[in-house]
Amino acid sequence: MSLIEITEVRKSFGTNEVLKGINIDVDPGEVIAIIGKSGSGKSTLLRCINGLETIDSGSIAVAGAQLLPDELHLRALRLKIGMIFQSFNLFPHLTAGKNVMLSQMVVKKVPTADAEATARKMLDRVGLAHKFDAYPEELSGGQQQRVAIARALAMQPMALLCDEITSALDPELVNEVLAVVKELAAEGMTLLMVTHEMRFARDVCTRVVFMHQGRVHEIGAPQDVFGDPKTPELKQFLGLQAA
Amino acid sequence: MSLIEITEVRKSFGTNEVLKGINIDVDPGEVIAIIGKSGSGKSTLLRCINGLETIDSGSIAVAGAQLLPDELHLRALRLKIGMIFQSFNLFPHLTAGKNVMLSQMVVKKVPTADAEATARKMLDRVGLAHKFDAYPEELSGGQQQRVAIARALAMQPMALLCDEITSALDPELVNEVLAVVKELAAEGMTLLMVTHEMRFARDVCTRVVFMHQGRVHEIGAPQDVFGDPKTPELKQFLGLQAA
Amino acid sequence: MTYSFDFSWIGEYLPVLLKGVGITVELILVGAFFGVALGTLCAWIRALGPLWLRPVVGAYVEMIRNTPFLIQLFFIFFGLPSLGFRMSELQAANLAMIVNLGAYSCEIIRAGIQATPRGQFEAGASLAMSPIQTFWHVVLIPSLQRIWPALSSQIVIVMLGSAAVSQIAAEDLTFAANFIQSRNFRAFEAYLVSTVIYLFLAIVLRQLLRGAGALLFAKRRAAQ
Amino acid sequence: DALANIESTKTIRVAVPQDFPPFGSVGSDMKPVGYDVDMANLIGEKLGVKVELVPVTSANRIPYLQTNKVDLVISSLGKNPDREKVIDFTDAYAPFFNGVFGPDDVTAAKAEDLAGKSVGVTRGAVEDLELTKIAPATTDIKRYEDNNGTISAFLSGQVDLVATGNVVAAAILARNPPKKPEIKFLIKNSPCSIGLNKNEPALLEKVNTIIADARKSGELNAIAQKWLGADLPAEF
Amino acid sequence: MMMEFTTWDILRNLLLAARWTVLLSLVSFVGGSLVGLAILFMRIGKNVWLKRFAQGYIELFQGTPLLMQLFLAFFGLGLVGVDVPAWLAAALALTLWTAAFLAEIWRGCVEAIVRGQWEASSSLAMGYVQQMRYVILPQALKIAVPPTVGFSVQVVKGTALTSIIGFVELSKAGTMVTNATFQPFIVYGFVALIYFALCWPLSKSSQILERKLNVAHRNH
Ligand SMILES: Nc1ncnc2c1ncn2[C@@H]1O[C@H](COP(=O)(O)OP(=O)(O)OP(=O)(O)O)[C@@H](O)[C@H]1O
Ligand SMILES: Nc1ncnc2c1ncn2[C@@H]1O[C@H](COP(=O)(O)OP(=O)(O)OP(=O)(O)O)[C@@H](O)[C@H]1O
Ligand SMILES: [Mg+2]
Ligand SMILES: [Mg+2]
């Protein structure tokens, strides 16, 4: 059974139809890269899956449960799916450790000691055990993004959505974040990631989705999508990327 | 006679000596690319030439006139030398046309009608005649940068300083700006540009300056600098660039 | 206790009320225009002006912002004549409002100027504009745009504060209310009526300022 | 019934001015003193009750009365028909010696001479009401918040003349200011009354009796001597 | 018959009255903060009616002179038979007035928190109240400190208007003394000085806090 079922999803901002009927099924453990030009609707799609945007029509189901736009269902959904943003969005007034602990304690009512233990474990997993007491502004961009990953993981989600999580990083820092993601993938985490790192998509992902003008233009295994693009749009996109 | 003579220029920020005795003579019509690692002092050099920073010692002369740090001399100098920035720095409250007209009217007291005529001509030259009435926020980055070029050209400078004018642009937009610069070079404009576009530097420039740690480390024709780098630093720099 | 409200006097005192409204409106229009102009000048001095002038303006701003308007008004109306500057109560009221708003708007506008990206100053300079030309043509409008909401609120506050000018016999709206109640002892009615008019004026003024902002800054977005 | 209330609580609450010497101002201990204050104490004494003084301004003295926060307003109130619709007035308890004052070089011997001149006055005071009636239309009457505003306006030259109590003018003169308020002419002597709420016949009657008795006994004259520096006029 | 005041008498009486100014300021500031917080929540909350109410409240209290608000709080309530003591009316009116301004100031601070913070906390399954309590307000309160302290200066000066309901605070004492002494320059000079002494430290600390905050921001 699919973990995430996206069926005929449409979404407009005003008169601008950004998603024009999207269908994707994601199986547990899949690692899917979403690629496409700026403005093709990649971020919007992820945000719809996580309920940050409401969809106009179609349906999204996670682990068999429909996404409904009321507070209760949304929160239940977000317990199953974590999201990581391009701009990290760490809570600047909390230490790295507290960032990871907060939602466990507030949402899941985990006792402080347990939350802290989990936080330490998660920070360790992203290689930042020693930064437990550092504030976000004391961390590099790559470290901040890894804390954001740890924070999402601490909620023990079934899947993670990643929206260009390395785009705001200096080139040297990109790899440390991608290494963490690669490890997650290897451990069987379901991942849906918008990315411009084609090499990474090719090496790590099980499937690649090429979005174009609000549609899934091509979808397939990385070797097919990258090695044998069918549509001129994808060819052009890949050509541009290589330049 | 040289148009710009830079002699033994030194500049420190606090204890950090950023320019350690720079000597470059630029002849009229020359197109010079300044390359070098981040922090090597490229921007500082350009800013000194335009009087945005005062130099600590040495001298800079433009068309025979010494650069002196008083308001009057500075303004006279800036009438001779235009500058274009990485971040465009268009005036957000004025249309493209008004951006180009403003300094003509304010500084040179050109009548409105003449200023407008010049502005239209200059915008036409950068391919943006139809954007006369658009505000900067309605323009793409590449268009904004071309307006900035038109704005500098409208003052009829003897030379243009360009500081990484394509670095803030998406790859697709870089070429439209470089095309304009290339045309200017072909028309005989003297250009001093900091750039990371090696291909462009090789194709268009008459000389290339490689700066390293506040010094002119190598200088020469593009084919020499790129084809036969003498110093290990330049070799490493070019190697890095190729990667 | 039962009090029967009586507004039958409104007809008789309408001219007084209207005059009061007229003067309040005049005070705020003149005060806002010249106050913001003064504030702009002071903001320029504090942010970019001659170094020796900055503490002078700083002292003025601190003095005004930390003492009550009424006291400023008294010093201008009763105090300045002893230095040879005599003016009518209306002129004094206008001056006091200009001086007061000047100090407040100085600080507000200065914040707007200081939020200007350095590139704007450099672009102006590299186009051979003088610092003053750069300020006037390049920096000022976007700066005002950035702080327009704060400035608008301050103007409304100053308008409501203008009630104090009735104490020096300037015949504004509050004077009208006081005058009326001193004749017919209908204090509640007089104050109620003036309160409602103030509220109306405040709402209209806010809308006007919003409109002025939209007009002044149409289609233009301040950098940052 | 206010009188019954006063008698049962053994206190009378009286609004008195504190910005209108000599009728009411403060001593160096910030306690109210003046003609009106003495009058309030006199009434309290005659009623055999404690006096609670409430300092008021011209803006809030009537609301104090109307909201029953005070029983009487002794604040040199002058009567006019509009005012009488709102509150009741007792018989006169104080004369009002006031006149128009100005420096030497301004001539104004009678009301008509005020034409074209500016006259400062305290808003709502008796002299304001009277002057408004008698001054020609071209007189520029400036109405200030309190006595101090009026005097300051005169001393700083903001008005040509002031209309105020003669005791006040005398006190100013005594300070030997650069600008001397000398008497030009007396405004019609318009006496002051005590204000109280409508429909309080018992209290009104009682206060009127006290005033009449005090006149006869000379107690009122003593107050006048003390604060106005003159005997009560004959018609009192 | 003029009262004889020595300069010391004048200053002493003004300083004594200034205690009321301080007390009223403290009361209205504390009360205003609490009510302001409540208004803030209504204003930025999701309930449309509460939002409208908060908007109307702010419009009303920011759109009418404080003097009239005080007058109506004291005498208006008296008129309908509620006999509030002057201190309560003053505290009430000043509190409501302060609250309106603080709610607006704070709303600006809440809105200054970038959308990413809302989204990140949403995606961690936090509810609205939790987001507010743990993520938004702690950050907003920090940037709210300088403007809030700055506004306290307005509160201190605003207390002067309580004289309309019989309070003898600093300004009123100044008027009373002037009317007894006819020495406006000395008296109002002192009054101005005392206000300055009360307000300037507040203004200054607001500026210093602001500068600190900006520095902290730039270090990001
Ligand atoms: N909140 C919004 N309101 C209106 N339009 C929006 C909004 N968010 C996105 N859009 C529009 O939707 C379209 C798709 O945006 P989206 O951010 O999903 O693109 P993207 O594929 O993520 O692009 P990028 O690679 O630049 O991040 C764009 O045209 C954008 O302008
Ligand atoms: N205003 C300044 N104050 C202090 N230090 C400065 C200032 N401007 C530049 N520097 C320092 O001078 C050095 C050279 O800076 P510069 O901007 O000239 O380098 P660059 O070669 O242009 O680098 P990049 O390629 O990153 O633009 C750097 O170490 C920088 O930190
Ligand atoms: Mg995106
Ligand atoms: Mg640079």
pLDDT over 60 (residue B131): yes
Kind plus residue range of the DSSP H or E element containing C12: helix C10-48
What burial letters (b/e) apply to C91-107, b meaning 16+ CB within 10 Å? ebbbbbbbbbbbbbbbb
Span D4-13, pLDDT tens digits: 899 999 999 9
Residue E42, pLDDT above cutoff 60: yes
Neighbouring-strand partners of residue B210: B35, B218
Q: What are phi and psi of B163, to 5 degrees?
A: -105, 95
Ligand 2 atom closest to residue B41's alpha carbon, by position in its atom list: 18
Q: Which positions in chain E have a beta carbon within 8 angstroms of at least one beta carbon in chain C?
A: 59-60, 62-68, 71-72, 75-76, 79, 81, 104, 153-154, 157, 160, 171, 184-185, 188, 191-192, 195-196, 199-200, 203
Does residue C8 form part of some domain?
Answer: no
pLDDT-based confidence at residue E30 (cuts at 50, 70, 90)? very high
- Chains E+A touching (3+ CB pairs under 8 Å): yes
Q: What is the pTM of this model?
A: 0.88
For strands D118-122 and D161-165, give the pairing: parallel
Average pLDDT over residues A36-41: 89
* pLDDT given at position B41: 92
CB pairs under 8 A between C and E: 83
Q: Which CA distances in Å does A66 have to A61, A107, A158, E120?
A: 4, 21, 15, 22
Nearest chain C Cα to D62, which residue? C185
- D19 DSSP assignment: S
Expressed in angstroms and rounded, the spacing between residue A42 Cα and the centre of ligand 2 is: 37
What is the Cα–Cα distance from B149 to B154, expressed in whole angstroms?
9
How far is residue A148's CA from residue E116's CA, in Å, rounded to a whole number?
A: 12
CB D23 within 8 A of CB D94: yes
Distance from residue B85's CA to the centre of ligand 4 (Å):
10
The average pLDDT across B219-237 equals 90
pLDDT mean across residues, chain B: 91
Q: Which atom of ligand 2 is nearest to the CA of B45?
A: 18
Is residue C224 scored above 60 in pLDDT? no
CA distance to B6, B28, B194, per residue, from B63 (Å): 12, 9, 21
Identify residue D33 by its one-letter amino acid code. Answer: V
Average pLDDT, chain E: 90
Distance between CA atoms of residues A223 and C71, nearest Å = 81
Chains touching B (at least 3 CB pairs under 8 A) are A, C
pLDDT value at E22 more than 80: yes
- List all residues 6 or more positions away from C20 whose beta carbon is below 8 Å from its beta carbon: C171, C172, C173, C174, C175, C176, C177, C194
Asked if C129 lies within 8 A of B107 by C-beta distance, the reply is yes
CB of C223 within 8 Å of a chain B CB? The answer is yes
- Touching subunits of A (3+ CB pairs, under 8 Å) are B, E
Summarize pLDDT for D31-61 with one digit per residue, the tens.
899 999 999 999 999 999 999 999 998 889 9
pLDDT of B243 > 60? The answer is: no
Nearest to E125 among A52, A78, A92 (CB): A78
State the pLDDT confidence band at C1, using cuts at 50, 70 and 90: low
Phi, psi (5° rounding) for residue D164? Answer: -160, 180
Query: Does residue B149 have its Cβ closer than 6 Å to ligand 2?
Result: no
pLDDT band at B173 (very low <50, low <70, confident <90, very high): confident
Instruction: Please report residues of B whose CB lies closer than 8 A to that of A243.
Output: 171
Q: In chain C, what residues touch D66 (CB-CB under 8 Å)?
A: 1, 3, 187-188
E32-58 as b/e: b if 16+ CB within 10 A? bbebbeebbbbbbeeeeebeeebeebb
Give the chain A residue whose CA is nearest to the CA of B170.
A38
**Do D and C make contact, counting contact as 3+ CB pairs within 8 angstroms?**
yes
Give the DSSP H/E element, type plus range, for residue C150: helix C140-161
A48 neighbors A55 (Cβ within 8 angstroms): yes
Tokens 């201008």 correspond to C76
Asked if the bond preceding E65 is cis, omega within 30° of 0, the reply is no
How much is the pLDDT for C112? 93
Alpha helix locations (H) across chain E? Answer: 7-44, 48-63, 66-71, 77-79, 86-112, 115-123, 128-130, 137-158, 170-181, 184-218
pLDDT of res. B128:
93
Chains touching chain D, criterion 3+ CB pairs below 8 Å: C, E
Which of E110, E119, E123, E215 is the best mutation test for A, with the most CBs of A within 10 A?
E123
Give yes or no for residue B39 CB within 6 A of ligand 2.
Answer: yes
CA dist list (Å): D217 to B127, D221, D222, D223, E101: 105, 9, 10, 12, 59
**Residue B241 confidence (pLDDT) above 80:** no
Task: Enumerate the residues of chain A whose CB falls inside 8 A of the CB of residue B171.
Answer: 240, 243
Cβ distance D67 to E184 less than 8 Å, yes or no, reads no
Q: What's the CA-to-centroid distance between A36 and ligand 3, angstroms?
A: 10
Q: Which residues line ligand 1 (CB under 6 A)?
A: A 13, 16, 18, 36, 38-44
Asked if C199 lies within 8 A of E64 by C-beta distance, the reply is: yes
pLDDT reading at E217 higher than 60: no
ipTM of the complex in this document:
0.86
**Tokens (6 digits) for B232:** 């290990």
What are chain E's domains?
7-219 (1.10.3720.10)
> What tens digit of pLDDT does each residue of B24-54 get?
999 999 999 999 988 899 999 999 999 999 9
Tell whether the model's pLDDT for residue D78 goes beyond 80: yes
Domain span holding position C79: 15-223
**Nearest Cα residue in chain D from E86:** D69
At residue D73, φ and ψ (nearest 5 deg) are -115, 110
**Chain A: nearest CA to E150, how far in angstroms?**
23
Q: What is the predicted pLDDT for the residue at E1?
A: 45
Domain A4-237 has CATH 1.20.272.10: no
In this predicted structure, which of A40-49, B116-125, C76-85 has the lowest mean pLDDT? C76-85
Strands B57-62 and B31-36: unpaired
Task: Please indicate whether chains C and B are in contact, defined as at least 3 beta carbon pairs under 8 Å.
Answer: yes
Residue B208 has pLDDT above 50, yes or no: yes
Distance from CA of C216 to the nearest CA of B (A): 10
Q: Is D142 helix (H, G, I), strand (E, B) or coil?
A: strand
Whole-angstrom distance, CA of residue E114 vs CA of residue A20 = 29
C-beta atoms of E199 and C202 within 8 A:
no
**Could you tell me what percent of chain D has a pLDDT over 90?**
51
Kindly state the percentage of chain D with pLDDT values over 70. Answer: 100
Task: Give, as one character, the DSSP assignment of residue D29.
Answer: T
pLDDT band at C219 (very low <50, low <70, confident <90, very high): low
Using a CB–CB cutoff of 8 Å, tell me whether A38 touches chain B. Answer: yes
Average pLDDT over residues A142-157: 93
| Mean pLDDT, rounded, for A4-29 | 93
- The per-residue pLDDT for A168 is 81
Return the residue matching tokens 């409008």. C141
Tell me, what CATH number does C48's domain have? 1.10.3720.10
Mean confidence (pLDDT) of chain D = 89
Interface-testing mutation among A81, A93, A108, with chain E (most E C-beta atoms within 10 A):
A93
pLDDT of residue E31: 95
pLDDT score recorded for residue B175: 86
Option in C125, C137, C142 nearest B92 (CB): C142
Least confident of A175-179, B151-155, C42-46, E24-28: A175-179
Whether residue B18 has its Cβ less than 6 Å from ligand 2: yes
**Model pLDDT, residue B240:** 56
How many C-beta neighbours within 10 Å does residue B28 have? 14
Task: Kindly report, residue by residue over A66-87, the tens digit of the pLDDT.
Answer: 888 788 888 888 999 999 999 9
Q: What is the reported pLDDT for C221?
A: 53
For D26, the closest of E71, E75, E176 (CB atoms) is E176
Determine if ligand 2 sits within 6 Å of the CB of residue B167.
no
Domain boundaries, chain B: 4-237
Type of residue found at D199: N
Ligand 1 centroid, distance to E115 Cα (angstroms): 15
The pLDDT of residue D196: 93
Give the number of whichever ligand sits closest to the CA of residue B85: 4
Chain-centroid distance, C-alpha D29: 22
Share of chain E above pLDDT 90, in %: 65
SS3 (DSSP) at D210: helix
Q: Give phi and psi for B153, each to the nearest 5.
A: -65, -30
Q: How many domains does chain C have?
A: 1
Select from C191, C192, C202 the Cβ nearest to the Cβ of E63: C202
Distance A44 CA to ligand 1 centre (A): 6
The nearest alpha carbon in chain B to C220 belongs to: B93
Residue C10 lies inside a defined structural domain of this protein: no
Question: Which tens digits make up the pLDDT trace of E48-83?
Answer: 999 999 999 999 999 999 998 999 899 988 888 888
Closest Cα of chain D to E45: distance in Å?
39
Is C149's pLDDT higher than 80? yes
For D80-98, give one letter per residue: b (16+ CB within 10 A) or e.
beebeebbbbbbbbbbbbb
Distance (angstroms) between ligand 2 centre and the Cα of B103 equals 28
Distance A86 CA to ligand 3 centre (A): 8
Which pLDDT does position B19 carry in this prediction?
94
Using CB atoms within 10 A of its CB, is residue B158 exposed (0-12), middle (13-18) or buried (19+)? middle
User: Which chains share 3+ C-beta pairs under 8 angstroms with C?
Assistant: B, D, E
What percent of chain C is modeled with pLDDT above 70? 96
CA distance B237 to B33: 15
**If you average pLDDT over residues A96-119, what whole number do you get?**
94
